[in-house]
Structure 1
């Protein structure tokens, strides 16, 4: 069994795309995922599976959500090792609690288009810094993510990828949950 973390995009936001966590856990158990746990209402699932493909798990969970809730929800699945690497490679890592509150992780699982990436790297966002890896776009939003121009929607639009964003606290809590 492999331990995974699934990140659902855009559920339970401003009363839209409602999926109660207890029902999400039950749904995951019904599709044979093991030791299912959720963390907060934004759609974070920790689970175990014998399936070795993250893309297969993404399709499986998305299809089950579509069938049960009639919602098309983008899902990104990472292994514990991948999540650990994302956190360890954070270029903005700091022990300063105020800086930790400014850190966000935009998770991706698609190859970035070289041309779009080149244009994006040239952009400047006031009070915002970013760094790009193959699986994550790291954000440091000095004025807070709520006021950030550089957000998930902009990244998806400019880089033509599916993405979902989590803050530092959530990412660390999920890693803590997997032991």
Structure 2
């Protein structure tokens, strides 16, 4: 049995695209998954795939299935990424910033649907955003913002849709990143 985290992008923000967590849990259970739990109201769900579901599951197929179910049930499209415990743990282990010495609001991970290379960010003059910094990982972008996300010009620049062309990107603060590792531990 494998445990996964589903990361939903852009739900329950400003009263738009409302997805109550109790309904999301029931929806995931209805897809045949077990041990369904949610974390916060921002689109984090953990579930296990057992039996036939586990044998046929890939993170991509699980994300597609959940995305279709959400659209059918709620009537709008929600980009979904699904990641397993091994991947989530590797993201934490590979963090290029000193996470242990930082507050959760100072460090964020943007999970990506595909690998991206540094060429995508060549137009950003990183020195103009200091002390804010980012690093590219395995289908993840690490963002260090010492004064928090709300005050970060770099976060604003990285959030421009044109930068992500056809890539699903959804961000979580470090507290949520580490909590999802704990929740997906088999």
Please say whether Structure 1 and Structure 2 have the same fold, judged by a TM-score greater than 0.5: yes
* Superposed counterparts of 1:1-179, under 5 Å: 1-49=1-49, 50=54, 51-98=56-103, 100-112=104-116, 115-120=119-124, 122-124=125-127, 125-151=129-155, 154=159, 156-160=161-165, 161-179=167-185
3-state SS of 2:10 partner: coil
* 1:156–1:163 CA contact under 8 A, matched in 2: no
What are the superposed Cα offsets for residues 43-81 of structure 1, whole Å, 9 maximum, x if unpaired? 101111114311101100000000000121111111100
Structure 1's 117 and 97: CA in aligned 2 closer, same or farther, altered over 3 A?
closer
The TM-score, its normalising length taken from structure 2, stands at 0.87
Gaps of 5+ in 2: none
3-state SS of 2:27 partner: helix
Residue-pair matches, total:
177
Which one has a larger percent helix, Structure 1 or Structure 2?
A: 2
Q: Which runs of structure 1 show a deviation greater than 3 angstroms over 4 or more consecutive aligned residues? A: 117-120
Structure 1's 154 and 57: CA in aligned 2 closer, same or farther, altered over 3 A?
same
The TM-score, its normalising length taken from structure 1, stands at 0.90
Structure 1's 155 and 79: CA in aligned 2 closer, same or farther, altered over 3 A?
farther
| 1:97 shift after superposition | 4.3
* 1:4–1:77 CA contact under 8 A, matched in 2: yes
What are the superposed Cα offsets for residues 21-60 of structure 1, whole Å, 9 maximum, x if unpaired? 0000000001111111100000101111114311101100
Could you say what the CA RMSD is over the residues aligned between the two structures, in angstroms?
Answer: 1.9
